[in-house]
Amino acid sequence: MKKGILVLGLLMVTLSCSEYQKLLKNEETAPKYTAAEQLYNEGKEEDSNKKLRKALKLLEQIEPEYRGKPQGERIVFILADTYYQLGDYFNAPFQFDRFLQLYPKSQKAEEAGYKSASSYFYRSPKYNLDQTDTHKAIEELQVYLNTYPEGEFNEEANKMATELLVKLEKKDYEIAKQYHHTEYYKAAIASFNNFIADHPGSPFREAAYFYRFDSAYRLAINSFEVLMEERLNEAREFYKSYKKYYPEGEYTPQLEDALSEIDKSLQNF
């Protein structure tokens, strides 16, 4: 009985594939449009890449035939959205942008704008890689938010933009921190100064204040005597800056220990 069910299932799949192949070769566009719409809807509902890929082939075949016709708007949109649902975030924004150029007043224009922008978000790489797509995503998400200030997807777009900004901040922070860890203390101080100036609301801000101080402290205690006093005083100023903004900060114990050493060293001058 199980073998019979299995054979029947395989037969149905074979017939289904056979019918689909015939449909691809069929010169009539109407049945292809109907099948593509059904496969697209089922693929989205069932999260089935197989059905979405089948829909995509049909849509790519019939899209040129429906240009200028009433169905053209729907076909161009679901073609773009099929790329998006398949996770093809390189073709999706191109197709959504084409849809917006062809149908700027469409009821689907806002969704197309959001999905085009969010495609760049999904293309954004890890913080330690080139961030060209991250900058592009922030730019496109801001365009969406400016165009639709009360838009349906505003909450998601704002979350995405914030996440991307934090990623850029992390990249800058890690570069400065790498200078510190490799004992390029002058470069570290300069980088942390820039980071603090450029990212006033960053979650890495407290750590940046601490590592700027620590870089200055280590630079001072390893300096020639002629340079040491000035550098110790600079480190002391960085200590004050940290305490001003983070009086009970997480790095306070390390700062207090280092400050004691600074004060002892300054007594020699």
Residue 123 inside a domain? The answer is: no
Residue 235 inside a domain? The answer is: no
Domain that holds residue 81: 27-107
Residue 22 inside a domain? The answer is: no
pTM, two decimal places:
0.84
Residue 41 inside a domain? The answer is: yes
Residue 236 inside a domain? The answer is: no
> What are the pLDDT tens digits along the chain (269 aa)?
444 444 334 334 433 677 888 888 777 888 889 999 999 999 999 999 999 999 999 999 999 999 888 899 999 999 999 999 999 999 999 999 999 999 999 999 999 999 999 999 999 999 999 999 999 999 999 999 999 999 999 999 999 999 999 999 999 999 999 999 999 999 999 999 999 999 999 999 999 999 999 999 999 999 999 999 999 999 999 999 999 999 999 999 999 999 999 999 999 88
Number of domains making up the chain: 1
Residue 69 inside a domain? The answer is: yes
Report the Cα 172 to chain-centroid distance in Å. 16
Residue 16 inside a domain? The answer is: no
CATH number at residue 32: 1.25.40
Residue 87 inside a domain? The answer is: yes
Report the Cα 168 to chain-centroid distance in Å. 10
